Chain A
């Protein structure tokens, strides 16, 4: 049944922005009826998904799931980037060269390209709770292994293995979509993603402080950093245990029910993949995300060492400065989603595209400046501006992705996420693993690359809404949202009624026309669903 295809966990991967087009802290009753028979702390819909997002509550199961979920993702970010602020010590202990350090950085983000793609299937099979717990508890040993590393190859191998745990992004988003109604899932997912990404910043603060404390307790530097890694390792274990004991897959707590739902007619994977891969916009966004999220991950790996070496900051001070980059995620990413929605109100999809281009290009410009300046206050300023640009661009990207395809939304989100990691690996390999130019030059070149790789967003054209430089098509048929979304289904599939969800989505997406919406007659009795 079409409703169940839409409602099934994992389809609503969309909107990892901060905001939804409708003010999305809660969904009012007439739009989505409340199930009054259910006894939950929060008002729920017919599937018992929460209609309200109460941030500071721990109500079981919805808000508790939210907190378990984003904390797990946060923990994996802490573990993956834990080595970065300690590199000045590690490089002396195990005799690393610049290429070793660069290669380790590449390795740390490469593993999750694959693990993120696999994680969706794992969540389908075992449920998001076990998916998450398996991943973080199996990667805890890899974090503990860091204490045993003695040479460059060991270091690179361990960082590669720890990097697999970044796939908790998928389990996090998946889990949110089982617990929260589609109308507010955008804000929920966006907040979870942004707060998880903050882990990359928190670790730059945490690890040097741990290192100093352990050194003060009497350990030599070359031993202290090894002991420091036990903390992220234990964070993994503790989060895993909390997820297992306190979490549940569905609002009703039933893993078996989830498996039953999975039996219901699901869309064919090969078809979904086909429509994702053959849509040129998918690839443009894979590239773009590689230069917003990708550069964010690269910076998480190099920035502490940069401030330590270039400006001669002490280790913990370099960590504090580096942390501000990652911590900006708490607001910057939702901000990007918000500006995307704001522009969409007036200018529709064209506004979203321009917004993305502006934010990402601004980030690139500030990155160029960051590499060029010689004074510490200026460097910090440009770094903060760069972080806001890049992270807001991440948020803005996912303000557009839900509209690329309705049928293949999950895969496109997954591919885009993988593109982020791929972009990170590539930039680290090209700009930061090379001894032939300094990190400062690497930053500036990366900034130029960001600016160049953001230009393709001008090629993204929606017949019904237009593109950056071209308006929407005037053709009555081609220029309609229905035509665009329903074209993903074959005639037979349409006869089976599989495309109903896409029609509903098309109706709801009319707001992407911007100011023109009022003039377009909306069909009667259209029940808005996921947006």
Chain B
């Protein structure tokens, strides 16, 4: 994916175009939601909630940026006080993530009038997408596989949104970031926000998945295997013995 440093494109307000069901591309969305994710676990940088103010701008540039570039501006990237990219390792099924999101006040008001729902998702960082085409990032959102785990879906409110999510047990071991999509009344994405930057390398967090193994499964497995071998050998031995008895007679 190419990333255009700096500025934005001209926007055309073509809401009707969106409503027609045309495949929405990520590059056409504007980063107007401020989102931060934090966990009680882990060190410094993560617990400071990175308040990236995302500007909510209403413009969906459809005509042009059908290229694979993320056109969000870095204007929000304020105090990305994220010092190191090494973040805490969270355990699936145990640790929690607290996510807060709000409308970026720096954008003109009224832009968020079409936002009806917010969908917060857990998304794979590029390092976890390598060599795994089933997690590929594609500009067209219908085909995009970056964000496969839903955290929460809520009706949209411009501020005071917070959610604490216990990391579910079907989340794989990988590096993630959190992204929120703002959807309109037709369930079409119109804006987004995420807790990392455009390159998706900072402020990631790692999840350690459960193994799925249990002692009971291990024991059952060993017992059944032993049964199989023992019964085979037993049979063989018994038949040989019977044959010998018959022969001796």
Chain A residues with CB under 8 Å of chain B are 88, 91-93, 95, 97-99, 130, 133-134, 137-138, 140-141, 144-145, 147-148, 150, 220-223, 225-227, 230, 233-234, 236-237, 240-241, 244, 255-256, 309, 435, 438-439
Chain B interface, DSSP helix/strand/loop, else mixed: helix
Please determine whether A137 and B217 come into contact, CB atoms closer than 8 angstroms: no
Q: In whole angstroms, how far apart are the Cα atoms of A222 and B209 in the complex?
A: 9
Q: Which residues of B contact A309 (CB under 8 A)?
A: 133-134
Q: In whole angstroms, how far apart are the Cα atoms of A393 and B232 in the complex?
A: 37
Decide yes or no: A134 and B211 within 8 Å by CB, A93-B172, A220-B170, A226-B217 being known contacts: no
Q: In whole angstroms, how far apart are the Cα atoms of A148 and B231 in the complex?
A: 22
Please determine whether A97 and B217 come into contact, CB atoms closer than 8 angstroms: no
Q: Which residues of B contact A438 (CB under 8 A)?
A: 133
Please determine whether A137 and B228 come into contact, CB atoms closer than 8 angstroms: yes
Please determine whether B133 and A435 come into contact, CB atoms closer than 8 angstroms: yes
Residues 122-137 of B at the A interface (beta carbon under 8 Å): 130-134
Give B186-213 as 1s and 0s: 1 = Cβ < 8 Å from A's Cβ atoms: 0000000000000000000000011111
Q: In whole angstroms, how far apart are the Cα atoms of A148 and B225 in the complex?
A: 12
Q: Which residues of B contact A141 (CB under 8 A)?
A: 224-225, 228-229
Interface-central residue, A95, A222, A233, by most chain B CB under 10 Å: A222
Q: In whole angstroms, how far apart are the Cα atoms of A134 and B239 in the complex?
A: 14
Known: A226-B217, A240-B228. 8 other contacts (CB 8 A): A91-B132, A91-B134, A145-B225, A147-B217, A237-B228, A240-B231, A438-B133, A439-B133
**In the complex, which of the residues A91, A140, A221, A255 contacts B170, with contact meaning CB atoms closer than 8 Å?**
A221
Please determine whether B224 and A137 come into contact, CB atoms closer than 8 angstroms: no
Q: In whole angstroms, how far apart are the Cα atoms of A236 and B232 in the complex?
A: 12
Q: In whole angstroms, how far apart are the Cα atoms of A221 and B172 in the complex?
A: 11
Please determine whether B232 and A144 come into contact, CB atoms closer than 8 angstroms: no
CB distance from A306 to the nearest CB of B (A): 10
Q: Which range contains the number of B residues in contact with the other chain? A: 20 to 34
Does any Cβ of A come within 8 Å of B166's Cβ? no
Please determine whether A435 and B224 come into contact, CB atoms closer than 8 angstroms: no
Q: Which residues of B contact A93 (CB under 8 A)?
A: 172, 209, 211-212
Does any Cβ of A come within 8 Å of B235's Cβ? yes
Does any Cβ of A come within 8 Å of B249's Cβ? no
Q: Which residues of A contact B169 (CB under 8 A)?
A: 220-222
Decide yes or no: A240 and B173 within 8 Å by CB, A223-B214, A435-B131 being known contacts: no
Q: Which residues of B contact A225 (CB under 8 A)?
A: 212
Q: Which residues of A contact B133 (CB under 8 A)?
A: 98, 309, 435, 438-439
Please determine whether B221 and A144 come into contact, CB atoms closer than 8 angstroms: yes
Please determine whether A241 and B213 come into contact, CB atoms closer than 8 angstroms: no
Q: Name the residue of chain B whose CB is nearest to the CB of A222.
A: B212
Q: In whole angstroms, how far apart are the Cα atoms of A180 and B220 in the complex?
A: 41
Please determine whether A220 and B224 come into contact, CB atoms closer than 8 angstroms: no
Q: In whole angstroms, how far apart are the Cα atoms of A226 and B231 in the complex?
A: 24
Please determine whether A148 and B213 come into contact, CB atoms closer than 8 angstroms: yes
**In the complex, which of the residues B170, B173, B214 contacts A95, with contact meaning CB atoms closer than 8 Å?**
B173
Q: Which residues of B contact A241 (CB under 8 A)?
A: 231
Q: Which residues of A contact B211 (CB under 8 A)?
A: 93, 150, 222
Please determine whether B232 and A226 come into contact, CB atoms closer than 8 angstroms: no
Please determine whether B217 and A223 come into contact, CB atoms closer than 8 angstroms: yes
Q: In whole angstroms, how far apart are the Cα atoms of A42 and B92 in the complex?
A: 62
Does any Cβ of A come within 8 Å of B236's Cβ? yes
28 contacts between A and B (CB under 8 A): A92-B170, A97-B130, A97-B131, A98-B133, A133-B232, A137-B232, A138-B228, A138-B232, A140-B225, A144-B221, A147-B217, A148-B221, A150-B211, A220-B169, A220-B212, A221-B170, A222-B169, A222-B209, A222-B212, A223-B214, A226-B212, A230-B224, A234-B224, A237-B227, A240-B231, A241-B231, A244-B235, A438-B133
Q: In whole angstroms, how far apart are the Cα atoms of A234 and B220 in the complex?
A: 12
Residues 171-193 of B at the A interface (beta carbon under 8 Å): 172-174
**In the complex, which of the residues A97, A144, A236, A256 contacts B132, with contact meaning CB atoms closer than 8 Å?**
A97
Q: Which residues of B contact A237 (CB under 8 A)?
A: 224, 227-228, 231
Please determine whether A256 and B243 come into contact, CB atoms closer than 8 angstroms: yes
Q: In whole angstroms, how far apart are the Cα atoms of A90 and B174 in the complex?
A: 14
CB distance from A334 to the nearest CB of B (A): 33
Q: Name the residue of chain A whose CB is nearest to the CB of B246.
A: A256
CB distance from B173 to the nearest CB of A (A): 5
Q: Which residues of A contact B225 (CB under 8 A)?
A: 140-141, 144-145
CB distance from B61 to the nearest CB of A (A): 26
Does any Cβ of A come within 8 Å of B218's Cβ? yes
Please determine whether A134 and B232 come into contact, CB atoms closer than 8 angstroms: yes
Q: Name the residue of chain A whose CB is nearest to the CB of B228.
A: A140
Q: In whole angstroms, how far apart are the Cα atoms of A235 and B189 in the complex?
A: 48
Please determine whether A98 and B131 come into contact, CB atoms closer than 8 angstroms: yes
Please determine whether A99 and B131 come into contact, CB atoms closer than 8 angstroms: yes
Decide yes or no: A92 and B209 within 8 Å by CB, A147-B221, A148-B221 being known contacts: yes
Please determine whether B134 and A147 come into contact, CB atoms closer than 8 angstroms: no
Please determine whether B132 and A222 come into contact, CB atoms closer than 8 angstroms: no
Q: In whole angstroms, how far apart are the Cα atoms of A256 and B244 in the complex?
A: 11
Q: Which residues of B contact A256 (CB under 8 A)?
A: 243
Q: Name the residue of chain A whose CB is nearest to the CB of B236.
A: A130
Please determine whether A88 and B134 come into contact, CB atoms closer than 8 angstroms: yes
CB distance from A489 to the nearest CB of B (A): 38
Please determine whether B213 and A147 come into contact, CB atoms closer than 8 angstroms: yes
Q: Which residues of A contact B134 (CB under 8 A)?
A: 88, 91, 309
Interface-central residue, A144, A148, A230, by most chain B CB under 10 Å: A144
Q: In whole angstroms, how far apart are the Cα atoms of A144 and B227 in the complex?
A: 12
Please determine whether B232 and A227 come into contact, CB atoms closer than 8 angstroms: no
Please determine whether B170 and A144 come into contact, CB atoms closer than 8 angstroms: no
Top 6 nearest A-B pairs by Cβ distance?
A222-B212, A141-B225, A92-B172, A97-B131, A140-B228, A137-B232
Q: Which residues of A contact B132 (CB under 8 A)?
A: 91, 97-98
Q: Which residues of A contact B172 (CB under 8 A)?
A: 92-93, 95
Please determine whether A137 and B229 come into contact, CB atoms closer than 8 angstroms: yes
Interface-central residue, B130, B210, B212, by most chain A CB under 10 Å: B212
Decide yes or no: A140 and B212 within 8 Å by CB, A88-B134, A148-B218, A222-B170 being known contacts: no
Q: In whole angstroms, how far apart are the Cα atoms of A144 and B225 in the complex?
A: 7
Q: In whole angstroms, how far apart are the Cα atoms of A308 and B217 in the complex?
A: 28
CB distance from A283 to the nearest CB of B (A): 36
Q: In whole angstroms, how far apart are the Cα atoms of A435 and B169 in the complex?
A: 28
Q: Which residues of B contact A148 (CB under 8 A)?
A: 213, 217-218, 221
Q: In whole angstroms, how far apart are the Cα atoms of A230 and B211 in the complex?
A: 17
Q: Which residues of B contact A144 (CB under 8 A)?
A: 221-222, 224-225
CB distance from B146 to the nearest CB of A (A): 14
Q: In whole angstroms, how far apart are the Cα atoms of A230 and B224 in the complex?
A: 9
Q: Name the residue of chain B whose CB is nearest to the CB of A134.
A: B232
Please determine whether A140 and B224 come into contact, CB atoms closer than 8 angstroms: yes
Q: Name the residue of chain B whose CB is nearest to the CB of A308.
A: B134
Q: Name the residue of chain B whose CB is nearest to the CB of A89.
A: B170
CB distance from B218 to the nearest CB of A (A): 6
